[in-house]
Chains A and B, each alone.
Chain A
Amino acid sequence: MADTVAAIELKGISKSFGPVQANRDINILVPKGTIHGIIGENGAGKSTLMSILYGFYKADAGDIFINGKLTPIPDSQSAIRAGIGMVFQHFKLVQNFTVLENVILGVEDGPLLKSSMSKARKVLADLSREYELDVNPDALIEDLSVGHQQRVEILKALYRQAEILILDEPTGVLTPDEADHLFRILKGLRDQGKTIILITHKLREIMETTDNVSVMRRGTMVGNVKTSETSPEQLAELMVGRKVLLQIDKQPATPGEVMLKIENLRVRDIAGVERLKGISLEIRKGEILGIAGVAGNGQSELLGALGGIQNATGSVTYKGAALPLSGKGADGRTRRDIGIGHIPEDRQVLGLIMDFAAWEDMAFGYHYLPKYQKNAFTMDNEAIKADTAAKMATYDVRPPIATLAAKSFSGGNQQKIVVAREIEADPDVLLIGQPTRGVDIGAIEFIHKEIIAMRDAGKAILLVSVELDEILSLSDRIAVMFDGQIMGFKDPKTTNERELGLLMAGVSGEAGK
């Protein structure tokens, strides 16, 4: 590898946002034709670094070399010209365009689309053959699964002749099978001489896929190692700066009485499509019921119906009394009043008002409580701020500045704000959706401990997660959802990823694959 040129070399990159130094003197060297992992806690500066490389931000200092040549990248157009392609965590696709239309969007050859389309069709056919990147070029994006949409993003980059591909947390939304497929594609691309930068927080992916790995912590690069010469434990320690427990330490559950009894729960979306097709389950005091499943199989609707966000039919009994599922009493506020807390799946869309200050968000959903009021009209902003400062200290939210806007916090710290708010409200039932999505290892460990502590305090917990590791390590019982139904219940001690993966794909136990 010594004789190859570096596809990318970053020298002395620094970037600060006001008082926050997101990148401090970063040096990194990515040899051509390798898969290079970048890991680090949320807020460590990975995304900033990649944004600089892709021309979204301009570095305060430092140089970028592409293939050994000094290449300034003032905007993403220049990045594309330099052969850099980016696959974002949140796809940038036009939902009601076909695959082909999305691929040529912005690089059409002329005012008429016909020639570009037929050219792209040919290129796409070649690429699919070469790299297992098969997608129907005439399918609408909205009809594609998440895994296929991601392939379209990769195809888009390749169509623009990207030699360097950056993938930001690519497996967050994929099933284990889809993730495996993605990694096969990436390895194929590497073998054809492409360079791949993989940003992830999943140590297993780093170990399985990458050739080299760089570790970032608080804006600095703390390690560049060959993957073959390191271990997950060592990487985790580098990331967090201390020893991390990768395995959760928990006692067996002692389930008590049934808190929430769900029978034949059904939800229809606006288009009238049934998203939840008769779910029945029970959640007991002092247990964590994990819901495994690929995103979009009704988990969101289940949380929505129980959290009072979405109308549903069927029957839900809470503490022995019927819970209204639509109309009066079926709203988030009433749910909180009777002791049902909810950490929503999407903190940026549901859990937080991103433009609000942290203190305003720390009271969000509980802002009407008497302890936050001065009088009938005025809120006690000072009391909320004091309360926020205390919670930020307990939950180690960084930076602990109550007046900072929620959007200025890293994903992990945003999540800690939500978790702090919902756990400190001391609910009897806690609905949790994707508690650690986009959250760094240090914060994951913390949030997991809090969830276990809630269980041990006798709360009933419904945990929805697309991370099988998380479901397996936290749950006391596992229900697998597919297509709005429950495929089966499993015991985490006796099941495994393979078995759950099959159920998640809608294959019942005996049928096999």
Chain B
Amino acid sequence: MTKLPTWADVVLVPVISLLLAAFVAALVLLAIGQSPIQALNVMVEGALGSAYGWGYTLYYATSFIFTGLAVTIAFHGGLFNIGGEGQALLGGLGVSLVCLYLPMPHWTMTLLLAMLAAMVFGGAWAAVPAYLQAKRGSHIVITTIMFNYIAAALLIYILVSVLRPTGSMDPASARFPDAVGLPKFHDMPFLQDLFLKYGPDGLLKLSKEGLPTYQRVPANVTFFIALAACFGVWRLMWHSRLGYEIRAFGKQEKAANYAGISSFKIIMIAMILSGAFSGLMAINNVMGQAERLLQNSAEGAGFIGIAVALMGRNHPLGVLLAAILFGFLYQGGASLGLETTIPIELRTVLQGLVILFTGALDIMVRMMLGWFFVPKTATAKGAA
């Protein structure tokens, strides 16, 4: 197959894949008797048309960044970590334990502890499949999938039997103390004005005390941690000795062995790091948004991370952009459900199509592009 120029590979292929996905989605909408144009308008308006919409889009994106980075790290080590969902659930447990039992006087200190706990719990949950792979050759794909189920079952047990407040009927932990709440975008002085509430008369809505009121959005300070994480993973992968060894091992295990890179060490470290990043996602949804531990707190973000990493070409910058795209699909899809008669399940269809085209059918797009690029270079050479 023809090798595409880098810009085509990085920009053109995903864009065309997306357009194809959008085209098929439009066909689906037409088939159920809806207007694709209207649907697109609602999605864009709902997810990107206002600061409020962005407040949700970026909230979802934050979770996807973490799980996307998690898949990326493991992937560079030649390991396919499908266990992001379970690791995120366990990360949520770690976060909850800190928030419930070790709340600090200031949220920053609790955040640090909670991050540590999220990484330790998520990393530990990934360490078991990693060990089984490194020592016993049990395939990591199988074991991490199994560990998702175990994590879900474990969480139900803990929620029902340990963390559920007495008298509550809900399989969920108690609400975290107020002091551990993370600042949301509408709490941040430099972003606050974007979220001012206006009444139907166009005037600022004021509270009883006569102060302006703000629209509440779930996006929170974790988004900035996610940005830092992208940078961190980039430094780790392409500027550190560990990243070098992980990539070497992932590309050619035998060569890594020749160079004296221990496969046990790399499998363990890459998977624990991967699990730690999955776990970190819980800072966003458990500590940042729900403020208590719910039964299905990860909400599939662990799986979406696979698509995000795939689409982002396993590069932190790509992961960031892909995560925002999936955040848009999530929030836009929700708007569809709220504002139109299009069922919210269409959101899942959209995601499916995006994954299908950007991930699975990516090679098809490349091949088609290849036809365009071959004759062009050939004629250019012929003319020269």
Contacts and interface: CB of A to CB of B under 8 A. Distances in A.
A351 B248 CA distance: 11
A60 B241 contact: no
A353 B252 contact: yes
Contacts of B251: 353-356
B32 interface: no
B241 A373 contact: yes
Contacts of A307: 258
B244 interface: yes
Given A349-B252, A353-B251, A367 B244 contact: yes
B258 A332 contact: yes
Contacts of B244: 360, 367, 379
A440 interface: no
Given A333-B261, A334-B260, A353-B248, A378 B240 contact: yes
B239 interface: yes
Contact of A349 (B254, B259, B260, B382): B254
Nearest to B244: A367
Given A61-B381, A356-B248, A368 B241 contact: yes
Contacts of B248: 353, 356, 364
Contacts of A367: 241, 244-245, 259
A352 B255 contact: yes
A425 to B, nearest CB: 12
Interface in A38-68: 58, 60-61
Interface centre among B248, B260, B262, B382, by most A CB within 10 Å? B260
A333 B258 CA distance: 8
B258 A61 contact: no
A60 B382 CA distance: 8
B378 A351 contact: no
B257 interface: yes
Nearest to A61: B382
A342 B260 contact: no
Nearest to A59: B378
A365 B374 CA distance: 38
Q: How large, as a class, is the contact surface on chain B?
A: 20 to 34
A58 B370 CA distance: 12
Contacts of B262: 331
Contacts of B378: 60-61
A85 interface: no
Contact of B258 (A342, A354, A368, A379): A342
A373 B245 CA distance: 14
Given A364-B248, A381-B239, A332 B381 contact: no
A350 B241 contact: no
A326 interface: no
A344 B258 contact: yes
Interface in B254-284: 254-255, 257-262
Contacts of A309: 257-258
A264 interface: no
B240 A335 contact: no
A331 to B, nearest CB: 4
Contact of B235 (A14, A334, A354, A378): A378
A308 B260 CA distance: 8
Interface string B229-243: 000000100111110
6 contacts: A16-B377, A17-B3, A18-B3, A60-B377, A60-B382, A61-B378
Interface of B: 3, 235, 238-242, 244-245, 247-248, 251-252, 254-255, 257-262, 374, 377-378, 381-382
